[in-house]
Amino acid sequence: MIEIQDLKKTYNGKIEALKGISFRIEKGEIALFLGPNGAGKTTAIKIILGLRRADSGKISLLSHNIGYVPEGEIGKKDWRVEDYLEFLAQLREVQSVEDRVNNVLEKYKAKEMRRRRLRELSKGMYQKIKWIQAVLSDPEILILDEPTSGFDPMGKVEFRNWIMEKKEQGRTILITSHLLDEMQKIGDTYIIINKGLIVDKGRIDEMKGKALEEHFYEVVKESQE
C-alpha cells in the first residue's frame, strides 16, 4: 500500500510542481501514474522515496523495502554489471549477495551481460538492468518511472510478464509511462496528473473498452481549458 495526502512541492520558491495531490494504491494493485511532460510525476515519486522533501503533505507506506526504476541513469558508467549489482545487493542487506545476483541475472536472462560495463549496454539491456537492480531485495513496493523505454516488442512482452508476476506475489506497483496502450493491458487503476494537480482517477476495468489514450487526451485537454 502507498498512500499520499495533500502533497505539495515548490522548486526554488516559484515552480509549483505539486499543488496538493492525494491518492492511495492498495496492496497487490498496479496503478498507472500518468500525465504530460512536466506534470509532476517524477517529483511525486522522488518525494515518496524520500529523495526529495515535500513542502507539506503525508506519506504512508506498507513497507520501506521499495524497488525503484529511475527515469534517468543508474550507477557509474564504468561499473561492470555484476559489480554494480553486488554493491547494491550489499547496500540493501540482501542475504547471500553473490547467489542472489546470479539467480536474478539467470531469471531475467541477463547472464551474458554480467561482465559488461554499464556504458557498453544497449538501451534495452540497460533498461533490463534497471529492472534487475530494482528487484534485488524482493521489494514489497515497486516504483517504476518510465520502465519500458528502450524495450523492443519482445522486451515489452517480457516486461509485462515480469510485472504480472510481481502483482501475483501481492506487490504494490506504481508505474509512470507515456505508452498508454501498453499500460492499459496491465493496470488496475490510473491516476492522471496535470500541472501538479490530479485531474482524474479511476479503474481500468470500468473504462468499458474505451482506450485509455483517448480518455487521457480528453481529461488533460479539459483540465487545460
Ligand X SMILES: Nc1ncnc2c1ncn2[C@@H]1O[C@H](COP(=O)(O)OP(=O)(O)OP(=O)(O)O)[C@@H](O)[C@H]1O
Rg, the chain, Cα only? 18
Nearer to ligand X, 11 or 157 (CB): 11
Under the binding rule (CB under 6 A), the answer on residue 39 touching ligand X is yes
Grid cell listed for 157? 512482452
Under the binding rule (CB under 6 A), the answer on residue 17 touching ligand X is yes
Per-position b or e across 202-220, b if 16+ CB within 10 A of its CB: eebeeeeeeebeebbeebb
Single-letter amino acid code for the residue at 3: E
Indicate left, alpha or beta for 135 from its phi (over 0: left) and psi (-120 to 50: alpha): alpha
Contact string (CB under 5 A) for Mg ion, positions 132-171, x = contact: ----------------------------------------
Nearer to ligand X, 113 or 187 (CB): 187
In the complex, residue closest to Mg ion by CB: 42
For the bound state, the minimum distance from the C-beta of residue 41 to Mg ion, rounded and expressed in Å, comes to: 5
From CA 98, how far away is CA 85, in angstroms rounded? 9
Under the binding rule (CB under 6 A), the answer on residue 147 touching ligand X is no
Under the binding rule (CB under 6 A), the answer on residue 157 touching ligand X is no
Interface contacts to ligand X, rule CB under 6 A: 11-12, 15, 17, 35, 37-43, 71
